[in-house]
A and B are shown apart, each in its own frame.
Chain A
Amino acid sequence: MPVLDVNGAPVWRRRTTGQALLRWFGWLLGVAVFLFCWQRISDATTWFFVWDAPRIADDIWSRATPPRWDYITQLGRPIWDTFNIATLGTLISLCLAVPVAFLAARNTTPSRLFIRPIALLIIVATRSINSLIWALLLIAIIGPGVFAGVVAIAIRSIGFCAKLLYEAIEEINESQVEAITATGASRWQVMAYGIVPQVLPAFAGIAVFRWDINIRESTVLGLVGAGGIGLQLSASLNVLAWPQVSMILLVILCAVVISEWVSAKVRGAII
């Protein structure tokens, strides 16, 4: 225990002098890095616009309220498209994520040396790129539209679902697998009766969780042209129709809140 000697009486301290110095230098370095970053941001900013911001914000607010309520009649189809992008994208990604997860889990992979790294690479690569970037890419390849959105969501979700699923597979109870193996079951039977029942609740939870996230993401995919309500949003923004923008934002907010509520209810029922 580090103790400081003050006038012959020991006084408790949290850290030794060396530790305190080290921490001090760590903080100094952190603050320096932060100030450097702030300097770069500040250099790239037109401060006149920032000082003017309250007036602009006030101006936008006065234009955006009240929302154009009757515009909602035109939003039915885009919302349906958004819902489809999220749901179909999630379904496709689950179909692709299950084999990847089984190939990536240490206890089910056929080859730790060759196949597991490939599966992990697929997981990292699809996970680290945002669905908007996938949508950009797919629009360049297969043209704008809802289909590009579905595929973008599907690809983006593979990594997320497969990562959570393979972690669930690695945590299963091995004795159940052994019991099934002892009955003389084949590799596939062990899979179907020993492993799948154990990861099924986790799988359902992951699916609903990802669906919730995908509803959020698919509302903005239209900004780059991949269908859904984002198309209306970007069209309204381009013509500066602020009452329509605020109406669309309200609808998106409702969709997000409802999907989160559904997902919380379903996960509560499963787990």
Chain B
Amino acid sequence: MSHRELDDMLGKGWRKPPLVRHPVLRWGLVAGFAAYMVMAVLTIEVDWGRVYEGLDRGWQFILSFTRPDFMSRWGDIWDGLVESVVMTVAASVVGIAISIPIGLGAARNIAPLPVYLICRAIIAISRSLQEIIVAILLVAIFGFGPLAGFLTLSFATIGFLSKLLAEDIEAMDRVQAEAIRASGARWMQWINYGVQPQVMPRLVGLSMYRIDINFRESAILGLVGAGGIGATLNTAFDRYEYDTAAAILILIIGIVMMLEYLSGVIRARVQ
């Protein structure tokens, strides 16, 4: 800051500099945002009468959390939960097993260019399709039931895990891998002793995180007929049995919290 500027500033109060320096750009952004808001709010039709009527039902629902009804539909809830857990476990195992080779293939410093391109294409396809859309298509092809949900979750796991694993492999320390290679290791030994120890902690952490996500997703696959607790939940909402719905939601939240705690413990141990 020059003397000139300091002299100018003396005796004046300090003002916070604006976030965007250029005034035209600043006011342009503000005006554009305001115009968008007006347009967006104008095009959303809200039936306030219906919302007002619904507030009472919303309050009923919140109240039902204080007296969740686990018992009257316990059989359905139990079947749905077991199916969700089973789908989660099987899909996580298969998904992780498939995503490791694809992750290796998608790392540029390990794989040759053709393999790299193929693996990246698989990852891009898997990541750009949402679970629920994949589930709709797979239910249409394989019929209703947990098999479609299992395939959906496996497919989604591949995109998520391979991408992050490949990024981790690309960021690894080359020196260790080279040292193993210099000792005359074969390709498998090179991966096993040079690369795998470097990425293992992150792989375990990501896998735990993905199991957590898979369970959460398995709760909605039932909406389109792909098995799991979602079907039971949907029925409970349709029949306005809020006590049962609250019980299911509490169970889901409880299991997710448990998984998160577990993954925290495991991640702290491997890192």
Q: Do A and B make up one complex?
A: yes
Chain B residues contacting A233 (CB-CB under 8 Å) are: 133
Shortest beta-carbon distance, B211 to chain A, in Å? 13
Contact status B132-A132, CB under 8 Å: yes
Residue of B nearest to A227 (CB): B44
Chain A residues contacting B41 (CB-CB under 8 Å) are: 88
Chain A residues contacting B145 (CB-CB under 8 Å) are: 41, 44-46
The 0/1 profile, CB within 8 Å of B marked 1, for residues 141-153 of chain A is 1110111001000
Contact of A60 among B58, B133, B141, B253 (CB under 8 A): B141
Residue of B nearest to A33 (CB): B89
Whether a CB of chain B sits under 8 angstroms from the CB of A84 is yes
Chain A residues contacting B234 (CB-CB under 8 Å) are: 136
Within 8 A of A (CB), among B117-156: 128-130, 132-133, 136-137, 140-143, 145-147, 150
Residue of B nearest to A220 (CB): B132
Q: For the complex, what is the distance from the CA of A249 to the CA of B130, rounded to whole Å?
A: 10
Contact status A252-B133, CB under 8 Å: yes
Whether a CB of chain B sits under 8 angstroms from the CB of A185 is no
Whether a CB of chain B sits under 8 angstroms from the CB of A266 is no
Contact status B128-A223, CB under 8 Å: no
Chain A residues contacting B136 (CB-CB under 8 Å) are: 223, 237
Residue of B nearest to A217 (CB): B130
Whether a CB of chain A sits under 8 angstroms from the CB of B86 is yes
Shortest beta-carbon distance, A43 to chain B, in Å? 9
The 0/1 profile, CB within 8 Å of A marked 1, for residues 145-178 of chain B is 1110010000000000000000000000000000
Shortest beta-carbon distance, B193 to chain A, in Å? 9
| Size bracket of the A interface | 35 or more
Whether a CB of chain A sits under 8 angstroms from the CB of B15 is no
Contact status B133-A220, CB under 8 Å: yes
Contact status A41-B87, CB under 8 Å: yes
Within 8 A of B (CB), among A118-174: 124-125, 127-130, 132-133, 136-137, 140-143, 145-147, 150
Within 8 A of A (CB), among B73-99: 82-83, 86-87, 89-90, 93
Shortest beta-carbon distance, A218 to chain B, in Å? 11
Chain A residues contacting B133 (CB-CB under 8 Å) are: 220, 233, 249, 252
Chain A residues contacting B61 (CB-CB under 8 Å) are: 137, 140-141
Contact status A140-B57, CB under 8 Å: yes
Contact of A40 among B86, B252, B260 (CB under 8 A): B86
Contact status B90-A37, CB under 8 Å: yes
Contact status A130-B44, CB under 8 Å: no
Q: For the complex, what is the distance from the CA of A38 to the CA of B91, rounded to whole Å?
A: 9
Within 8 A of B (CB), among A3-52: 30, 33-34, 37-38, 40-42, 44-46, 49-50
Contact status A44-B50, CB under 8 Å: no
Whether a CB of chain A sits under 8 angstroms from the CB of B47 is yes
Interface pairs A-B: 6 shortest CB-CB: A49-B143, A128-B256, A142-B54, A37-B90, A141-B58, A143-B50
Q: List 23 A-B contacts (CB under 8 A).
A: A38-B90, A45-B146, A50-B142, A56-B141, A60-B140, A60-B141, A81-B43, A87-B36, A124-B257, A127-B256, A128-B257, A130-B217, A132-B132, A133-B219, A137-B237, A140-B61, A141-B58, A142-B54, A143-B50, A220-B130, A253-B128, A256-B128, A260-B128
Kindly list 7 other residue pairs between chains A and B, CB separation below 8 angstroms, not including A37-B93, A142-B54, A253-B129. Answer: A44-B145, A44-B227, A87-B36, A133-B230, A140-B240, A141-B55, A141-B57
Using a CB–CB cutoff of 8 Å, the interface residues on chain A facing chain B are 30, 33-34, 37-38, 40-42, 44-46, 49-50, 53, 56-57, 60, 80-81, 84, 87-88, 124-125, 127-130, 132-133, 136-137, 140-143, 145-147, 150, 193, 216-217, 219-220, 223-224, 233, 237, 249, 252-253, 256-257, 260
